[in-house]
Amino acid sequence: MSVAQATLTPPVTADDHLLGPDNAAVTLVEYGDYECSHCGRAHAIVHEVLRHREGQVRFGFRHFPLARSHPHAKQAAAAAEAAAAQSQFWAMHERLFTHQDRLDEASLIAHAAAIGLAADQFAQDLGHETTAERVQADFLSGVRSGVNGTPTFFINDRRHDAAWDVASLLAAIDAAS
Amino acid sequence: MTNANQPASSANGTASTTALAAGTAAPDFTLNSTLDKPLALSEYRGRPVILAFYPADWSPTCGDQLALYNEVLPEFQRHDARLIGISVDGKWCHKAYAEARNFRFPLLADFEPKGEIARTYGVYHAKNGTSERALFVIDGDGVIRWGYVAPAGVNPGADGILTALEALPVAAGARS
């Protein structure tokens, strides 16, 4: 048994939140938490990595809220899912990672308004059981996949155990291409 | 999964020469803990136990590992398993650490004689003066069923523990 060979379980499906071409040579998946400061740093790094390898990398994001450390993390993840119900997952994702100090419920509603979501629908989806279930399903898939903290990256379904600065991620992506 | 009577595996595929192997009776011990009283391993007999040796309180990697296990506790509890963290730190250090991180499982102080339990389990790192980062899953009869020693600096995650718990036969009388 080798825990180090952790594999993305389940692999990426159409239900994932994905950016970039479906036929990209490399798929980069991040398990992250909107209240985690390391994930905030990783967010800017992922942007840069995707810019450097535009068209070559598909990026997917799954929720891994560490709720006992981060009291707003689950609700923030739910906000991203509620935005996804209005086809605005990535707009909310961007908003949350650039406003990590404003993740209480009133702020989440303000973020929804700022990106143009229908307020009533957002509020309803934010509190809906299926939204929380989706976040929990992501979390459990992360546990199964060997996520060991946030952020954890997978490159073509294999856990990336090395550093996740821009140069290290680019090198790992190029090696997997 | 480690086969019975083989030493606990390490991530590079080479067997740790010292860690107690699957199939071995888990040595009992009683240590000071973050509970109000000392805790004996044998108190948990009848239930699976996850024994998580880690090098030190407050170090970033350990924090991530234990914070992760804190979140995954409901999954461990579905197997009726109890989680115990154990390091060479003292009881008061453990108390401050557990309170700061809101841990919902006990931390045990392998403090005096230092690292004695880690040595007994074959996972003491003499040069560092701490234990290795080592996981053991012990069944309700007190037998080690799975062991893993992580390479330096690598947080092993929880998937190996869950796989080992799922492989345990369901004990008679275990709660669902």
Residue B9: pLDDT band (50, 70, 90) is low
CA distances to A39, A143, B68, B154 from B101, in Å? 19, 20, 11, 20
Q: Which of A90-94, A148-152, B118-122 has the lowest mean pLDDT?
A: A148-152
Query: Options 3.10.690.10, 3.40.920.10, 1.20.120.920, 3.40.30.10; which CATH number does B9-167 get?
Result: 3.40.30.10
Residue B11: pLDDT band (50, 70, 90) is very low
To the nearest whole Å, the CA of A153 is away from the closest chain B CA by 13
3-state SS assignment for residue A163 = coil
B141 touching chain A per CB within 8 A: no
Taking 70 as the threshold, does the pLDDT of residue B172 lie above it?
no
To the nearest whole number, what is the mean pLDDT of chain A?
95
Confidence at residue B61, expressed as pLDDT on a 0 to 100 scale: 65
Taking 90 as the threshold, does the pLDDT of residue B174 lie above it?
no
Between A125 and B67, the more confident residue is: A125
Confidence at residue B23, expressed as pLDDT on a 0 to 100 scale: 96
CB spacing of A69 vs B102 below 8 angstroms: yes
Taking 50 as the threshold, does the pLDDT of residue B114 lie above it?
yes
Confidence at residue B8, expressed as pLDDT on a 0 to 100 scale: 55
Please name which of B56, B100, B51, B57 lies closest in space to residue B76, comparing C-alpha atoms: B51
Mean local confidence (pLDDT), B63-80? 91
Residue A6: pLDDT band (50, 70, 90) is confident
Question: If you count residue pairs, one on A and one on B, with CB atoms under 8 Å apart, how many are there?
Answer: 67
CB spacing of A149 vs B68 below 8 angstroms: yes
To the nearest whole Å, the CA of B176 is away from the closest chain A CA by 19
Task: Look at the block and give the residue holding tokens 């989706």.
Answer: A134
To the nearest whole Å, the CA of B112 is away from the closest chain A CA by 30
CB spacing of B11 vs A3 below 8 angstroms: yes
The Cα diameter of chain A in Å comes to: 49
CB distance A151 to A36 below 8 Å: yes
The contacts of residue A96 (CB under 8 Å, 6+ apart) are A34, A76, A79, A80, A103, A111
Confidence at residue A161, expressed as pLDDT on a 0 to 100 scale: 87
A79 touching chain B per CB within 8 A: no
CB spacing of B67 vs A149 below 8 angstroms: yes
Indicate which of B71, B99, B162 best probes the interface with A, i.e. most A CBs within 10 Å of its own CB: B71
Mean local confidence (pLDDT), A98-105? 98
Confidence at residue B171, expressed as pLDDT on a 0 to 100 scale: 54
Is domain A3-176 annotated with CATH 3.40.630.30? Answer: no
Confidence at residue B121, expressed as pLDDT on a 0 to 100 scale: 98
Residue A12: pLDDT band (50, 70, 90) is very high
Q: Which of B62, B109, B137, B149 is catalytic?
A: B62
Taking 60 as the threshold, does the pLDDT of residue B115 lie above it?
yes
| Percent of chain B topping pLDDT 90 | 75
Q: Examine the predicted complex and report whether its ipTM is higher than 0.85.
A: no
